[in-house]
Amino acid sequence: MARPRGTLIVFEGLDRSGKSTQCERLVSHLRQEGHDAQHMRFPNRTTPIGQMINNYLSGLAQTEDHVIHLLFSANRWESAAEIERLISEGTTVVIDRYYYSGMAYTAAKGNPDMDLNWCRHPEVGLPRPDLCLFLDVSTEVAMSRGGYGAERYEKREMQDRVRELFRDMRDHHDERSDIVLVDANRSIEDVAAEINDLVGLTMQQVAKSGQPLRKV
Ligand code: TMP
Ligand code: MG
């Protein structure tokens, strides 16, 4: 019998919500359980497009709003075939930020021509996650975890707008059926335990249903 496909898991949330910590813990947990698991993150700053994004985020470059949106999307497209390959080989892929961030952060700029619907278009056709874990943290808890750094977008006003747009996405958009809210105001261990359960259930469903990897 052919090996079942891997599962595509995404972590989303505001800056300082604990995504990177929880991604690492989940990958270790899955490997301990005997699964193949691979960690990825977006933006992937190692490619030429990723370097342009890094220059923009660090303030070294000014980039027009549509252009940077399309670069973030292109940065996902340059990894799309690899994600599909890993999943088809039976590896579970755990991604730190994906197109949900792409939509919310650009739409949060408030340009009326770039609402969530517009922002979604370049993402259509990307591998679609089986589960998007949204780590929900209050601004107070996020700030108490060391606050925000010096990168563009790491400002309270912007974070508040992004939070609202993530909420819109969870309530009204195509994304809503994939997103599960996780209360990330708790300890690392408590959050990790809930995540392990949610991911375990999704992996069982994927294996049982035989449903192929979908597309955005
Ligand atoms: P990071 O802190 O996870 O490396 O992400 C860098 C910033 O880029 C973060 O503020 C969120 C933002 N971002 C976008 O604006 N669009 C995107 O598509 C992604 C993946 C991140
Ligand atoms: Mg950051």
- pLDDT tens-digit readout, 3-57: 899 999 999 999 889 999 999 999 999 999 999 999 999 999 999 999 999 999 9
Burial-class residue 118 by CB neighbours within 10 Å (0-12, 13-18, 19+). Answer: middle
Q: Which atom of ligand 1 is nearest to the CA of 105?
A: 15
Q: Which residue has the tokens 């813990």?
A: 25
| Strand blocks (E) in 27-126 | 37-41, 92-96
Q: How far is the CA of 78 from the centre of ligand 2 (A)?
A: 21
Q: For ligand 1, say whether the CB of 56 is within 6 Å of any of its atoms.
A: no
Q: How far is the CA of 99 from the centre of ligand 1 (A)?
A: 10
pLDDT > 60? residue 64: yes
Return the number of other C-beta atoms located less than 10 Å from residue 29's C-beta.
17
In DSSP terms, 24 is beta-bridged to none
Output the pLDDT for position 1: 55
Cis peptide before 122 (omega within 30 of 0): no
What does the pLDDT average to over 160-180?
89
Q: How far is the CA of 1 from the centre of ligand 1 (A)?
A: 40
Q: How far is the CA of 54 from the centre of ligand 1 (A)?
A: 10
DSSP conformation class of 126: S
Q: Which structural domains are found in the chain, ordered by start?
A: 8-209 (3.40.50.300)
Tokens standing for 124?
A: 């259509």
* Distance of alpha carbon 76 from alpha carbon 81, whole angstroms: 10
First CA to last CA across the chain, in angstroms?
29
Rounded to 5, what percent of the chain is helix, strand, coil?
Answer: 55, 15, 30
In Å, the largest CA–CA distance within the chain is 53
- Name the least confident of 25-34, 80-89, 155-164, 201-210: 155-164
Q: Which atom of ligand 1 is nearest to the CA of 43?
A: 20
What does the pLDDT average to over 59-63?
97
Over residues 97-151, the pLDDT tens digits come to 999 999 999 999 999 999 999 999 999 999 999 999 999 998 788 878 876 778 8
Tokens standing for 60?
A: 């070294």
* Distance of alpha carbon 13 from alpha carbon 26, whole angstroms: 16
Q: For ligand 1, say whether the CB of 43 is within 6 Å of any of its atoms.
A: yes
In DSSP terms, 94 is beta-bridged to 9, 39
